[in-house]
Amino acid sequence: MSKPSIPQGTRDFSPEVVRKRQYILGTLRSIFELYGFQPLETPSMENLTTLMGKYGEEGDRLIFKILNNGMHAQKDADKEKMNQEWSKIMERSYSSPVVTERALRYDLTIPFARYVVMNQNEIAFPFRRYQMQPVWRADRPQKGRYREFWQCDCDVVGSNSLVNEAELLCIYRAAFEQLKVPQITIKINSRKLLAGLAEIAGVPDQMMEMTIALDKLDKIGWDGVVKELSERGISAEGAEKIKTVIDLTGSNDEKIIALETMMQSSAIGMAGIAELKNITKYHEQLADKNWSSTVMVDISLARGLNYYTGFIVEVMCGAVKMGSIGGGGRYDDLTGLFGLKGLSGVGISFGIDRIYDVIEELNLFPDQLVTGSKVLLLNFGGDNETYALSVLQQLRQAGIAAEIYPDAAKFDKQMKYANKRGLPFVILPGDTERESNKLSLKNFVTGEQIMVSLEECINLIQNS
Amino acid sequence: MSKPSIPQGTRDFSPEVVRKRQYILGTLRSIFELYGFQPLETPSMENLTTLMGKYGEEGDRLIFKILNNGMHAQKDADKEKMNQEWSKIMERSYSSPVVTERALRYDLTIPFARYVVMNQNEIAFPFRRYQMQPVWRADRPQKGRYREFWQCDCDVVGSNSLVNEAELLCIYRAAFEQLKVPQITIKINSRKLLAGLAEIAGVPDQMMEMTIALDKLDKIGWDGVVKELSERGISAEGAEKIKTVIDLTGSNDEKIIALETMMQSSAIGMAGIAELKNITKYHEQLADKNWSSTVMVDISLARGLNYYTGFIVEVMCGAVKMGSIGGGGRYDDLTGLFGLKGLSGVGISFGIDRIYDVIEELNLFPDQLVTGSKVLLLNFGGDNETYALSVLQQLRQAGIAAEIYPDAAKFDKQMKYANKRGLPFVILPGDTERESNKLSLKNFVTGEQIMVSLEECINLIQNS
């Protein structure tokens, strides 16, 4: 028999990893709930027609398609048609419902839009939902990039108010505060400001090209960006104007004041500035003064995805070398894809895998997450086993996670198990202990062993 | 644009449903942890070779296969081969790695066995794991049967001790106790006792046929079972012996004593009785005396799946008309499928969808699960909005889940939203309130509205 394995780009999560992930997801869940957001879960599979054409050509290619079942049971007459459909697949056209009509979810945004449209009459708008589920992409696996990974999204749909933007900024800050992640910078910008920038640079129709070049600023430096801008037909004078804006320093208020002067000739640019002004004002009113993270207006922030139309946001952690650990923005007509026009949405996303890596690298996971059980009762068989079982029941009744070694195996084997599991305590219920109705409690960290009553034992474990 | 929909047999879970499901899964999780079980999560996809041949021919057919990506990018030379492979699919052979090499998980047991074999050197045995994840089956959807549904399994692998069986019985009882589900009966039996029954009925090789007939006792009555037994070559005398055993009444101890007399001629039957005797003894020592559920030896209990070799268990709720809401048993050589021999396992499963239906039907979900937010702050715009935002921040700091209506919309619209969401409280921060630094708090259930300080407001909401 060949050695079993798992598909490339997928992962088993061991108990320790599941607990750490639960800690992150549970923290986020509690913040979302505190902010009045509601949980949603959608199926892993969507109809292929729901997904195709929503993520660009590259996205279409990376969607995992599910083979229809029962094809072999078709009548012979149908088989010729199925063979034709198969040829279509081979020619890169996936619009072949005979071969595949379902696919695995590619992100959480399109399923959310689909849900909103399907349930528009039941939903109380503005609808504030969060969603934490896996998504699948047939990308080439590499370090930190998986074919199955979790997304964690938080969106408001059906409200134009910039209070929502401020709420989402506070959610980011509250979450990273609670997770104790240091040096968090939340960069914000508006697509409208970028459009204004394109206008004053003299290339109003090339906002996307300009932002694609700007997006590379960190990697290729300003000289590289100027070169790219020039290749895209932006004049040296225009590039200089862009540079002046991008180079602005100072506090958010100072940047906004300077921008107001520079952007005067662009109506859309001024609208972007007004947005940032209001968002920072609302955020100021809503934020906890003790939070350690910062919110920074960053005019070079672009975010790749096309569908953002206003506010955009990205989260960086200065304490580790890593890309953004969260991002999002406002999209004006997402549900329009499914025929429901005029609903504006704004949302943020948490990069769960990267956040996990940050917390791991900075050693910020709470200690108690690791083992689960607090104590193992050794099993000495016979009457001692009976005694141990009654103790076990009482420990659990006191709320202590506890287990018994199920077999009366050799002492060494049982101790080795406790050690491998990393359990903090072991109870040794032998003849002496049973006859005196006491327990020997061994602290696995200090090595100390003491004889105590059950009550004392419970206290010691609970206060450890 | 056509109306969006979701694939047949799948479900969106609305916020209310997610919260109720979380309540069930969270309760089970806390019990598993209390009993020292560890969480595991495996990928949604497995290699097709891991799954095929493990669930019988019907199972193979019901596995959702994933189309390989990038097939269209193959060289022309490969395309002929791919077309041949496609023909194989059409002829019902799914062993075509060129077309599909991955599939969606069909249950949690095979992935668990695969995980244990792959990680045998890192795992501390006996390995006690729980796993709560969706599985997929291409079954014909019908009421209560879905193509994507959750399984919740709890297994111990690497120990022959019957203490494990007793622990699992206690987990069932503790879980249903905590979920407040009444009239729970946990039926237990041993496959060895069924083998013994086949022996004393004179058909030692027909244990499976006999149990298949017995499994229908509830549906077709004793006359029907006798007819089936006779069709399967079991004599009237044999059937009579079977009936005598099945008809045994009384307490578990009384049944066991009677069985010991009847089974004396069958070594395997006696081994089965010894198992039940020890399991009930251990269970007695370990169980909480206050639990309301009962554990009942039921010799007619068979459980369909072939791989059980000893203890079997099934959970029924007498308060609703429904099949079993949980089940499991011991399997002697599960990991042998993947080349690791000699590891015995025992496990139970919770039927999450059915348990949800039971709790819903009996109206046992806690009230506070429904809305999430406790209070909505109305938005009267301008200075009142600013005032509302500062109140909002302080409510959340006090741990109260709260939200603000993000737009200064018409009063009626905002109240309608609060009503549709089912929120228990609304705060109206208008001019009067802001100027006197007070709040008008409206109880949405009683209709009562009072003017209070923020501190009083927090107290009132927290104690509601």
> 3-state SS string over B84-129?
HHHHHHHCCCCCCCCCCCEEECCCCHHHHHHHHHHCCCCCCCCEEE
Q: Which fold has domain B371-462?
A: Rossmann fold (3.40.50)
Residue range B15-42+105-361, CATH number? 3.30.930.10
- Residues of A with Cβ-Cβ distance to B14 under 8 angstroms: 40, 119, 122
Contact between A200 and A265 under an 8 Å Cβ cutoff? The reply is yes
Q: Do A4 and B138 touch (CB under 8 A)?
A: no
Residue B304 or residue A355, greater confidence: A355
Q: Judge whether A75 is closer than 8 Å to chain B, CB to CB.
A: no
The pLDDT of residue A63: 94
Q: Does the annotation list B137 as a binding residue?
A: yes
ipTM over 0.90: yes
Measured between alpha carbons, how far is B390 from A285 in angstroms, rounded to an integer?
6
Which residues in chain A are contacts of B40 at CB distance < 8 A? 12-15, 18
Are A379 and B136 within 8 A, CB to CB? no
- Does the CB of B292 have a partner CB in chain A at under 8 Å? no
**Percent of residues, chain B, with pLDDT higher than 70:** 96
Would the pLDDT of B258 be above 90? yes
Beta-carbon separation of A389 and B282 below 8 A: yes
Strand, helix or coil for residue B382? helix
B420 touches chain A (CB under 8 A): yes
Name, in order, each residue with C-beta under 8 angstroms of B301's C-beta and a sequence gap of 6 or more.
Answer: B187, B188, B189, B312, B313, B314
Tokens at residue A383, please? 């009457």
Residues of chain A with CATH 3.30.930.10: 15-43+105-361
| pLDDT higher than threshold 70 for residue B371 | no
C-alpha distance from B284 to closest chain A C-alpha (Å): 10
Q: Which of A3, A17, A32, A64 to mutate to test the interface with B (most CBs of B within 10 A)?
A: A64
**pLDDT greater than 70 at residue B1:** no
Chain A positions touching B128 (Cβ under 8 A) are: 403
Report chain A residues whose CB lies below 8 A from the CB of B402: 34-36
For B192-212, write each residue's pLDDT tens digit.
999 999 999 888 888 888 888
The CATH 3.40.50.800 domain(s) of chain B lie at: 371-462
Measure CB to CB from residue B393 to each of A38, A124, A288 and give the nearest one. A288
Q: What is the mean pLDDT of each run of 10 residues along chain A (464 residues)?
A: 87 96 96 96 96 88 89 70 76 74 95 97 96 96 91 97 97 98 98 93 85 84 87 85 90 94 95 97 95 95 82 96 94 89 95 95 86 91 96 95 96 95 94 96 94 96 90
Best of B93, B285, B291, B416 to mutate (most A CBs within 10 Å, chain A): B285
Q: Does residue B40 have a known ligand-binding role?
A: no
User: For residue B84, which residues of chain A lie inside 8 Å, CB to CB?
Assistant: none
**B407 and chain A in contact, CB less than 8 A:** yes
pLDDT of residue B73: 66
H-run or E-run covering B140? none
Q: What is the pLDDT of residue A130?
A: 98
Residue of A nearest to B382 (CA): A282
**Residue among B35, B129, B386 minimizing CB distance to A403:** B35
Token pair belonging to A231: 């290749």
C-alpha B210/C-alpha B228 separation (Å) is 9
**Of A33, A21, A132, nearest in space to A359 by CA:** A21
Has residue B75 got a pLDDT over 80? no
pLDDT at A333: 85
* Interface residue B125 vs chain A (CB under 8 A): yes
Residue A420 in contact with partner chain B when CB distance is under 8 A: yes
Integer CA distances (angstroms), A368 to A31, A87, A167, A404, B429, in order:
21, 56, 32, 20, 43
Q: Do A124 and B33 touch (CB under 8 A)?
A: no
Q: Is the peptide bond before A126 cis (omega within 30 degrees of 0)?
A: yes
In 3D, which of A103, A63, A101 has the Cα closest to residue A85?
A: A101
Instruction: With beta carbons under 8 A apart, name residues in chain A contacting B50.
Output: 4-6
The minimal CB distance from B420 to the residues A1, A124, A417 is found for A124
Q: How close, in Å, is residue B38 to chain A by CA atoms?
A: 6
Chain B residues touching residue A148 (CB < 8 angstroms) = 43-45
Q: How many CB pairs under 8 A join A and B?
A: 296
Decide if A288 touches B, using CB distance below 8 A.
yes
Q: What pLDDT was estimated at residue A375?
A: 96
Q: What pLDDT is attached to residue A464? A: 86
Q: CATH 3.30.930.10 in chain B, residues?
A: 15-42+105-361
pLDDT of residue A314: 96
pLDDT at B132: 98
Helix orientation angle between B191-200 and B236-246, rounded to the nearest 10 degrees: 140
The better pLDDT of the pair B130, B445 is held by B130
**CATH assignment of A15-43+105-361, given 3.40.50.150, 3.20.20.70, 3.90.650.10, 3.30.930.10?**
3.30.930.10
To the question of whether residue A130 is assigned a binding role by annotation, the answer is no
Q: What is the pLDDT of residue B370?
A: 63
In A, residues 226-265, which contact B (CB 8 Å cutoff)?
Answer: none
Query: CA-nearest residue of chain A to B373?
Result: A36
**Whether B282 contacts chain A with CB within 8 A:** yes
User: H/E element holding B142?
Assistant: none
- Tell me: is residue A308 an annotated ligand-binding position: yes
HEC sequence for chain A: CCCCCCCCCCCCECHHHHHHHHHHHHHHHHHHHHCCCEECECCCEEEHHHHCCCCHHHHHHHCCEECCCCHHHCCHHHHHHHHHHHHHHHCCCCCCCCCCCEEECCCCHHHHHHHHHHCCCCCCCCEEEEEEEEEECCCCCECCECCEEEEEEEEEECCCCCHHHHHHHHHHHHHHHHCCCCCEEEEEEEHHHHHHHHHHCCCHHHHHHHHHHHCCHHHHHHHHHHHHHHHCCCCHHHHHHHHHHHCCCCCHHHHHHHHHHHCCCCHHHHHHHHHHHHHHHHHHHHCCCCCCCEEEECCCCCCCCCCCCCEEEEEEECCCCCCCCEEEEEECCHHHHHCCCCCCEEEEEECHHHHHHHHHHCCCCCHHHCCCCCEEECCCCHHHHHHHHHHHHHHHHCCCCEEECCCCCCHHHHHHHHHHHCCCEEEECCHHHHHCCCEEEEECCCCCEEEECHHHHHHHHHCC
CB contact under 8 Å between A389 and B66, yes or no, is no
A33 and chain B in contact, CB less than 8 A: yes
pLDDT of residue B236: 85
Q: Which residues of chain A does B117 touch, with a Cβ-Cβ cutoff of 8 Å?
A: 4
Q: Does A150 touch chain B (CB under 8 A)?
A: no
Chain A residues in contact with B71 (beta carbon < 8 A):
89-90
Annotated binding-site residue? B431: no
User: Looking at chain B from residue 366 to 405, which residues have their Cβ under 8 Å from any Cβ of chain A?
Assistant: 372-373, 376, 379, 385-386, 389-390, 392-393, 396-397, 399-405
CB crowding A393-409: b at 16 or more within 10 Å, else e: bebbeeebbbbbbbbbb
For residues B93 and A231, which has the higher predicted lDDT (pLDDT)?
A231
The answer to whether A137 is annotated as binding is yes
Q: Does A190 touch chain B (CB under 8 A)?
A: no
What local confidence, expressed as pLDDT, does residue A236 receive? 85
**Chain A interface, mutation test: which of B3, B12, B61, most A Cβ atoms within 10 Å?**
B12
Selected residue of B35, B76, B119 to mutate for chain A interface (largest A Cβ count, 10 A): B35
B303 a known binding residue? yes
CA distance A191 to chain B (A): 21
Nearest CA to A313 out of A154, A117, A98, A78 is that of A154
| Token pair belonging to A379 | 């099993």
Give the pLDDT score at B210.
Answer: 86
Tell me whether residue B107 is annotated as binding: yes
Task: Decide if A134 contacts A149 (C-beta within 8 A).
Answer: yes
Question: Does B308 show up as a binding residue in the annotation?
Answer: yes
